[in-house]
Amino acid sequence: MGKRFFEAAGKKILLFCAAAGSLALLFADTIKRLKDADSKETLRQMALLGADSLPIVLMTILCTGMVFSVQTAKEFVRFGASGTVGGIVAIAMARELVPVLTGVVVAGRIGAAIAAELGTMKVTEQIDALRVMAANPVSFLVVPRFIAIVVMMPFLIVFANFIGDMGGYIVAHYYAGISTFTFVDSIKRYAEVYDLVGGMIKSSFFGAIIATVGCYKGLNAPNGAEGVGLATTASVVLSIILIFISNYFLSIVLYV
């Protein structure tokens, strides 16, 4: 029993190390081939993967800002600290909530779409056809998606921060009775531009994770419709896990 357990655990560890190595190699190959990106395809992917994600991102962050303000505004007013609510909402949104939640939403929407699309192409042998035509799949399929997400994520963060702060203001003003001047002045006094810049830097890293994982799972999807489904699910789960792990280290590097 014990021997079988250790054999199974050893195989799992070996498979994990092999997958991690393959993922790292795909990322390195993508970085090496950035100069080969097709500009028209990259712009098309920026519209599909970035601009089309804006409505769901804004809806998510608006509700998050409102909920965060609900949980804090009344308590701060009760303790006579209403002049700090705006700054706290803005800092929390810019540093952590907006980048992480945007990453999770984009991973669920875009990471799954990438894995499903490339997985279907792999199953239907379209990727093999690209190789036969001497077209590198990484340059043709991975690089445009990688650039599109990495570039568009910071733009999503800027819009999401604005709408999140607006949601926090609406609740703070109409629910907790904090004046517009007090809320805005608090943001000016406590929040800094670097809070927003740090969140944008985080989002670019999250975008790189989402694109790399989605493309890797799609390119290595098992055969059959079930394999595409498994690759899609695994892409979303792995992307979200890596986003949370990397967020901790990025927070230390950027803010500590």
- What pLDDT digit, counting tens, does each position of 74-95 carry? 888 888 888 899 999 999 999 9
**Residue 32 near residue 138, CB atoms below 8 Å:** no
What type of residue is 184? V
Say what the pLDDT of residue 83 is.
Answer: 87
Helix axes 225-255, 112-123, angle to 10 degrees: 140
Distances (CA, A) of 38 to 48, 132, 134, 163, 218: 15, 19, 16, 33, 20
Q: What's the confidence (pLDDT) of residue 1?
A: 54
Residue 108: partners with Cβ closer than 8 Å, 6 or more residues away: 236, 240
pLDDT given for residue 64 in this prediction: 94
pTM over 0.75: yes
Q: CA-to-CA distance for 234 and 240, rounded, in angstroms? A: 10
Segments making up each domain of the chain, as ranges: 2-255
Q: Which amino acid is at 230?
A: L
Q: Please tell me the distance from the alpha carbon of residue 173 to that of residue 162, in angstroms, as a whole number.
A: 16
DSSP string, 172-221: HHHTS---HHHHHHHHHHH--HHHHHHHHHHHHHHHHHHHHHHHHHHHTP
CA 35 to chain centre: 23
Our CA dihedral for 206, 151, 220, 230, rounded to 10 degrees, sits at 60
Q: Count of CB atoms within 10 A of residue 107's CB? A: 26
Residue 6's pLDDT is: 63
Q: Which residues of the chain have pLDDT under 50?
A: none
Q: Which DSSP state fits 148? A: H
Any idea how long the chain is?
A: 256
